Amino acid sequence: MNTFLLPDLGEGLTEGEIVRWLVAAGDVVAVDTPVAEVETAKSVVELPSPYAGVVEELHGEVGTVIPVGKPLITIGAEGGSAYREEERAGSGNVLIGYGTGESIGSGRRRKPRGSVAVAPVAAGVVRVISPLVRRLARDAEVDLKSVVGTGADGLIVRRDVELAIARRVEHIADESPAPVVDEVVAESPLPVAEVGGAVDSRTGLPELRREQTSGFRKVASATLSRSRREIPEATTWVDVDATALLELRESLRSATDAGPGLLALMARFVVAGLVKYPELNGFVDTERDELVQYDGVNLGLAAQTERGLVVPAVAGAHKLSARGLDGEIKKLMETARAGRLTADELNRGTFTLNNYGSFGVDGSAAIINHPQVAILGVGRIIDRPWVVGGELAVRKLTQLSLVFDHRVCDGGTAAGFLRFVADAFENPTSAFADL
């Protein structure tokens, strides 16, 4: 009998909540059969069984929060047992996107009881055991025949596919047109975990309800608290006439081509600004007392989802055109809404662009996404009176606000970056000519 313990999720995550069981007691499962959907603080993932056999026990009802290392499911060995070869090959974890190490164990692999030995593979045959690895490759349109497996006997494991995806993102700009992505999903309320009714001793008021703090909220709280605690932040802002930017966006549309979205155009200017002011595209190495600047930009985009605020990042954004950024933004937002973001997508950002104007607000003193050192916010674009050429006119105005870590630069650098982006908003055609 084998008990599958909730594996180490990595990225500081210590627990997972059972969202849905995909099997029941008595079911026969094979290696890699999805047995449960588990929600971590990052996303919802399907958890495949590392064993084959008959399901004996499910350790928890839907909604149960299970700590790492505690039993998730017990599988009887009567039907034969086998441990996932990908695990033996060193992926370190069964959760896609939550790898915990790249080392390959030195222990000898056991031959699964009741299984057939794997014969040497002829050249040209793709060696993939995990259906999750196949799905990852399929969703990312990666040709497995072009991937070199680093697992045992040339097995293609998760890290091989992720490496192929990363290399493609670094070297290829997606120039295909994509629908405009300017808004994010409004947050849905958390499910009520417990009905209130008790009277609060301090206020004398009855409690309306109590909600269990989710793993997502716990990690978000810890990250934001650390940012406020460690970063001496400062904020600067400017009102911007975005009329020309909106006109440019409309001019790029056609009956057959939606053109790059407004957020992609904004992102292109932000990336250009970071190349010019790299101090804002780095981190503070407190252990070595050094200020580090990145050679390249992974642009984080704040997105509100049903599970809360997430900040996935477009890798290699400095290499992408406005159309390329539009395509990558679209894919990231769709993945975020589905709750399928990987840890790499969530943690690789070097700077964050927050389009909170989609919520109908003008400004915000945002919290920097630690360990980044700056975040730029864009407010709603609305009609306002503005002086143009000495005459009062109605223009499309927005507000840009930059929150930055005062350890990495002074106000002059921050103001220079903000003014650069603002000028690009106001004269986008000239800005594109200079990029």
How far, rounded to the nearest angstrom, does the alpha carbon of residue 303 sit from its chain's CA centroid?
A: 9
pLDDT (mean) for 304-308 = 80
1-83, CATH topology level: OB fold (Dihydrolipoamide Acetyltransferase, E2P) (2.40.50)
Q: What is the pLDDT of residue 85?
A: 47
Residue 142 clears pLDDT 70, i.e. is over it: yes
Contacts of residue 409, Cβ cutoff 8 Å, sequence gap at least 6: 277, 279, 280
> Domain coordinates of the chain in residue numbers?
1-83, 215-434
Read off the DSSP letter of residue 185.
P
- Percent of the chain residues topping a pLDDT of 90: 44
Q: What is the pLDDT of residue 226?
A: 86
How far, rounded to the nearest angstrom, does the alpha carbon of residue 344 sit from its chain's CA centroid?
A: 7
- Please give the single-letter amino acid code of residue 54: V
Active-site positions read 406
Q: What is the pLDDT of residue 236?
A: 95
Q: Residue 95: phi, psi to the nearest 5?
A: -90, 120
Q: What is the pLDDT of residue 107?
A: 35
Question: Which single residue is written with the structure tokens 């580090």?
Answer: 292
Token pair listed for 180: 């405009």
pLDDT interval class at 9 (50, 70, 90): low
Q: What is the pLDDT of residue 131?
A: 52
Question: Which single residue is written with the structure tokens 């039907």?
Answer: 79
Chain segment 323-363, per-residue pLDDT in tens = 999 999 999 999 998 888 888 898 899 999 999 998 899 98
Query: What is the per-residue burial (b if ≥16 Cβ within 10 Å, else e) of 115-143?
Result: eeeeeeeeeeeebbbbbbbbebbeeeebe
Question: Which single residue is written with the structure tokens 């299970």?
Answer: 66
| Three-class secondary structure of residue 131 per DSSP | helix
**CA distances to 237, 252, 265, 322, 425 from 432, in Å:** 23, 13, 10, 10, 10
CB 116 within 8 A of CB 37: no
How far, rounded to the nearest angstrom, does the alpha carbon of residue 50 sit from its chain's CA centroid?
A: 26
Q: Is the pTM of this model over 0.95?
A: no
Token pair listed for 101: 């190490």
Of 312, 297, 338, nearest to 139 by C-alpha is 338
Choose which CATH entry (3.90.950.10, 3.30.310.50, 3.30.559.10, 3.30.70.260) describes domain 215-434: 3.30.559.10
Q: What is the pLDDT of residue 237?
A: 96
